[in-house]
């Protein structure tokens, strides 16, 4: 760059920086975007301050991502003295930049007093792919806030997929913890990682004393999608807790196999109407003769929402071939069911 070009660039930078005080949001956004392309101008911290206005955050984030290392330096220097919301925001932006030089700030943020900062830090670490920080995320599986726990679960899943065998081996011990929340979260992680080695431990968790752990185990088996997990889901279908049974049905519905259909057929007679509805939807995905028979019978079920689910599921499975069975719903004594049948028939007519 010549001296003249440098002078013009600096002049433009100062002009744009002046626009950051404009009362117009659109003008400020435009100035931020251009300054980001130019490397932040003379004072990138001024751009960061604008993020206190949520309307400006997308533009500020984009600018700092474009600044790269220069922007990262400002973020890490600002972090310790920033307020709660700004610390959370800074963690998110560091993750978007994706430079491992920001990992130290993120690991310190995992113990931040503000829950949203811990949450943002965990997700940002996963975004960067800092596998070496995985052990530091484990304490967040027992965080006081559920959204922080969930962020840690998702972060560990993403990082563990990079080093699956070692991660599964280290996590299996935790599934025997005395703390139900830890057992639940580790079960969810093992399902998310997708390792066959974890299946026996997850199946054992279907009999855990805590219903949330049992629910997580059923969901994890559905995520693993291993046929060896189908029959054990019968344990979930017999659970005393309706939410566990529902998780079992949802897991079976993912397999779309005859073996899964056999268990879904049993669940279609569950005492919980939402379990029954989920089972009917699952059967429609399998689409065999037995599924058609069960759905056809359920069209006239005395429980309106079950009958409506049967009508919609039968249409999803058979299309125009479902006309005669759906017509039966027009005679249902529940007007909502009759209306659903009429609406479905109008779709078929089209």
Q: Residue 77 CA to chain centroid, in angstroms?
A: 31
Check: CB of residue 32 under 8 Å from CB of residue 20: yes
- DSSP secondary structure letter of residue 285: H
pLDDT at 14: 64
Read off the pLDDT of residues 259-276 as tens digits, 9 standing for 90 and up: 999 999 999 999 999 999
Average pLDDT rounded to a whole number, residues 11-32: 76
State pTM to two decimals: 0.78
Residue 42: pLDDT band by 50, 70, 90 thresholds?
low
Q: Give 138 or 267, the one with higher predicted confidence.
A: 267
The closest alpha carbon to 285, from 253, 262, 311, belongs to 253
Check: CB of residue 62 under 8 Å from CB of residue 48: no
Mean pLDDT, the chain, as a whole number? 89
Residue 35: pLDDT band by 50, 70, 90 thresholds?
confident
pLDDT at 196: 84
Residue 74 and residue 17: Cα distance in Å, rounded? 16
Residue 5: pLDDT band by 50, 70, 90 thresholds?
very low
Read off the pLDDT of residues 93-130 as tens digits, 9 standing for 90 and up: 999 999 999 999 999 999 999 999 999 999 999 999 99
Average pLDDT rounded to a whole number, residues 133-156: 93
Residue 26 and residue 34: Cα distance in Å, rounded? 12
pLDDT at 15: 67
Is residue 349 pLDDT above 60, yes or no? yes
Is residue 11 pLDDT above 70, yes or no? no
CA 123 to each of CA 143, 339, 343: distance values in angstroms, whole numbers, following the listed order: 15, 45, 44
* Residues contacting 123, CB < 8 A, separation 6+: 91, 92, 95, 151, 154, 155
For residue 336 the two structure tokens come to 């909502």
Percentage of the chain surpassing pLDDT 90?
68
Q: Give 274 or 68, the one with higher predicted confidence.
A: 274
The closest alpha carbon to 137, from 147, 123, 122, belongs to 122
Is residue 278 pLDDT above 60, yes or no? yes
Quickly list DSSP for 112-145. Answer: -SSHHHHHHHHHHHHHHT-GGGHHHHGGGGG-SS
Residue 235 and residue 232: Cα distance in Å, rounded? 6
Check: CB of residue 278 under 8 Å from CB of residue 246: yes
Q: How far from each other are the two terminal CA atoms of the chain, in whole angstroms?
A: 66
Structure-token match 């930049």, residue found: 97
Residue 170: pLDDT band by 50, 70, 90 thresholds?
low
pLDDT at 169: 62
Neighbouring C-beta atoms of residue 334, cutoff 10 Å: 17
Quickly list DSSP for 63-81. Answer: HHHHHTHHHHHHHHHHGGG
DSSP 3-state assignment of 175?
helix
Residue 162: pLDDT band by 50, 70, 90 thresholds?
low
DSSP 3-state assignment of 40?
coil
Highest mean pLDDT among 18-22, 28-32, 247-251: 247-251
For residue 131 the two structure tokens come to 């596998």
pLDDT at 9: 44
For residue 121 the two structure tokens come to 């830090």
């Amino acid at each position: 760059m010549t001296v003249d070009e440098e002078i013009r660039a600096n002049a433009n930078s100062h002009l744009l920086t002046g626009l950051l005080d404009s009362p117009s949001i659109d003008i400020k956004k435009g100035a931020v975007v251009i300054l980001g392309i130019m490397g932040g101008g003379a004072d990138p911290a001024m751009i960061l301050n604008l993020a206190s206005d949520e309307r400006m955050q997308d533009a500020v984030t984009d600018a700092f991502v474009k600044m790269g290392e220069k922007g990262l330096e400002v973020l890490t220097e600002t972090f310790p003295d920033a307020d709660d919301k700004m610390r959370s925001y800074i963690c998110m932006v560091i993750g978007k930049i994706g430079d491992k030089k920001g990992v130290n700030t993120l690991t310190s943020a995992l113990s931040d007093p503000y829950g949203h900062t811990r949450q943002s830090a965990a997700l940002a670490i996963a975004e960067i792919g800092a596998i070496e920080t995985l052990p530091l995320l484990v304490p967040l599986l027992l965080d006081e806030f559920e959204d922080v726990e969930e962020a840690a679960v998702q972060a560990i899943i993403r990082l563990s997929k990079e080093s699956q065998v070692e991660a599964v081996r280290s996590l299996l011990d935790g599934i025997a913890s005395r703390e139900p929340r830890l057992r639940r979260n580790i079960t969810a992680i093992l399902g998310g990682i997708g390792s066959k080695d974890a299946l026996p431990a997850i199946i054992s968790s279907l009999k855990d004393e805590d219903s949330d752990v049992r629910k997580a185990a059923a969901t994890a088996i559905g995520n693993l999608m291993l046929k060896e997990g189908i029959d054990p889901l019968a344990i979930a279908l017999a659970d005393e807790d309706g939410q566990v049974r529902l998780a079992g049905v949802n897991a079976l519905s993912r397999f779309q196999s005859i073996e899964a259909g056999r268990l879904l057929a049993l669940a279609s007679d569950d005492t919980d109407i939402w379990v029954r509805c989920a089972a009917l939807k699952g059967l429609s995905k399998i689409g065999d003769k037995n599924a058609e028979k069960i759905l056809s019978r359920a069209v006239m079920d005395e429980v309106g929402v079950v009958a409506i689910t049967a009508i919609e599921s039968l249409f999803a499975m058979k299309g125009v071939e479902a006309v005669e069975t759906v017509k039966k719903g027009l005679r249902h004594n529940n007007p909502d069911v009759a209306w659903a049948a009429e609406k479905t028939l109008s779709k078929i007519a089209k």
